[in-house]
A = this chain, B = another copy of it.
Amino acid sequence: MNNSKDADDISHWWRTSIIDMAPGKIEFRGHPIQDLIGNVSFPQMIWLMVKGNLPSESEAKLFECALVAGVDHGPQAPSIAAARMAATCGLGLNNVMATGVNMLGDVHGGAGEQCAELYIDIAARIDSGESLIDAVRSGLDAWRAEYGKIVSGFGHRFHKPVDPRAPRLMALVRETAEAGTVSGRFADIGEAVQEELGVQRGNRPIAMNIDGATAVIFCELGFPAPLSRGLFCLSRSVGVLAHGWEQMQQGGRNKGPMPPRFLPKYEATQEQ
């Protein structure tokens, strides 16, 4: 390859620590691809790519639980509905998947990220000497000043009283902590937040939802907050793909949100 200043600048513009390539050579984070294929699990590969090191098997096992838990929540989720509609518009599965994933914005995909921010902030407050309960209260105050009253990761408009994914995930975090793989401190923090929220609602318990539980896992495993969103998107991509493919097999052309015989209601305004 050329070594001019220009060539160096160009190469450096696209510098990466993820992949090293030459003809016949592909290495990820220093590991030749042929050594990874067949030897590491898909979750381990995801971890290696995103975080830079290979996790132990027990770390990967807990990580995998979070990936399994978030794959889908059905066609009432806008991301899934949009993907299914896209599948009837003559698009490839790549475009179908992109359509669905694109919609996992602050309101949905961002919930895990925002919840992880809260947990990490509370942990920092504890490290600075606050008690757990004080850190939870001051962390919640600070978080709400930025994001508003409703705390991401808790409560569910549909799954009442309990989101079946959260208690299962939390039990697995506790098992993994007992085995010494993770510390369990974010499980403590998550449950303390849950309890405090219940108290603040006049002692009406509130459930932890999937975002609250997977954020505990991703924090226990050392992932920065934005990756709670990214990893959720990866997980939900599975459901997007499954639904897009199912819709392709069901057929349909230009599928709208409701059967064609229904029409949107027109509401005249005075602006006309």
Copies of the chain in the assembly:
4
* Residues of chain B with a CB closer than 8 A to A88's CB: 78, 107
User: Does the CB pair A14–B258 fall under 8 Å?
Assistant: yes
Contact of A168 among B34, B95, B231 (CB under 8 A): B34
Binds B, one of A179-187, A197-205, A242-250: A242-250
Q: In the bound complex, how far is the Cα of B257 from the Cα of A262, in angstroms?
A: 12
Asked whether A77 is an interface residue with its Cβ less than 8 Å from the other chain, the reply is yes
Given contacts A86-B78, A90-B107, contact A72 B19 (CB under 8 A): yes
Chain A residues with a Cβ closer than 8 Å to the other chain, count: 136
A237 located at the interface, meaning its Cβ lies under 8 Å from any Cβ of chain B in the complex: yes
Chain B residues within an 8 Å CB radius of A14: 75-76, 81, 84, 257-258, 264-265
What mask results when residues 1 to 37 of chain A are scored 1 for a CB within 8 Å of chain B, else 0? 1101111111111111111111111101111111011
Q: Say whether A272 faces chain B, with CB atoms less than 8 Å apart.
A: yes
What mask results when residues 37 to 50 of chain A are scored 1 for a CB within 8 Å of chain B, else 0? Answer: 11011110110011
Q: How far is the CA of A99 from the CA of B108 in the complex (A)?
A: 16
Residues of chain A in range 215-272 having any CB-CB distance to chain B below 8 Å = 226-227, 229-231, 233-234, 237-239, 241-246, 248, 250, 253-269, 271-272
A110 within 8 A of B: yes
Binds B, one of A125-133, A135-143, A156-164: A156-164
Residues of B within 8 A of A76 (CB): 14, 256-258, 260, 262-264
Chain B residue numbers with a CB within 8 Å of A58 are none
User: How far apart sit A259 and B76, CA to CA, in the bound complex (Å)?
Assistant: 9
Is A97 part of the contact surface with B, judged by Cβ < 8 Å? Answer: yes
Residue of B nearest to A257 (CB): B257
21 A-B pairs with C-beta separation under 8 A? A4-B4, A9-B259, A12-B265, A14-B81, A17-B246, A17-B267, A17-B271, A21-B266, A24-B161, A31-B272, A34-B168, A41-B43, A45-B67, A78-B88, A82-B82, A86-B105, A94-B229, A97-B101, A97-B233, A234-B237, A237-B237
